[in-house]
Amino acid sequence: MAGPFAVHWSLDLRVYPYPGVHDVLERVPQGPVAPPSTP
């Protein structure tokens, strides 16, 4: 395969809580996401 190809990816995270313990799960803001840079 030499031509372009499309990819769809997904990442799911789950954090299970301990009883009575508060947990946090969030994406850290990174500002605008730049396209991949040229090496």
Partner 1 sequence: MAAGPALALDVATPSEPIVLGPDRQAAVREVEVRWRPTGSSPLPTATLEVATSPSTRGGVNVLGAAYDVTDVAGPVSSALPQFGGYEEDPFAHCRPGIECVRRFLVTFVLKTGDTTTYNWQLIVHRTDLSKVMRETTIPVALEIIASADPIGMPSTLHLEGDFTYTSTHDLAPIPLRVRSEITAPSEGSRIPTSGFTAPMWPIPGLMRFSVAFARDPGDDAWVSVDVDPGVDCAGAVSGGPGTPLVRNAFVFCAPDTVCPNLTFYVTPAIRPELVAWPDRLPSTGAWI
Q: Least Å distance between CB 15 and partner 1?
A: 5
User: Does 15 interact with partner 1 (rule: CB under 8 A)?
Assistant: yes
Q: Least Å distance between CB 32 and partner 1?
A: 10
User: Does 27 interact with partner 1 (rule: CB under 8 A)?
Assistant: yes
User: Does 39 interact with partner 1 (rule: CB under 8 A)?
Assistant: yes
Residue keyed to tokens 């396209």:
35
Tell me the two tokens of residue 34. Answer: 């730049």
Torsion over CA: 3, 6, 25, 28 (sign): positive
- Report the amino acid identity of residue 7: V
The residues of the shown chain that bind partner 1, judged by CB under 8 A, are 1-28, 30, 33, 35-39
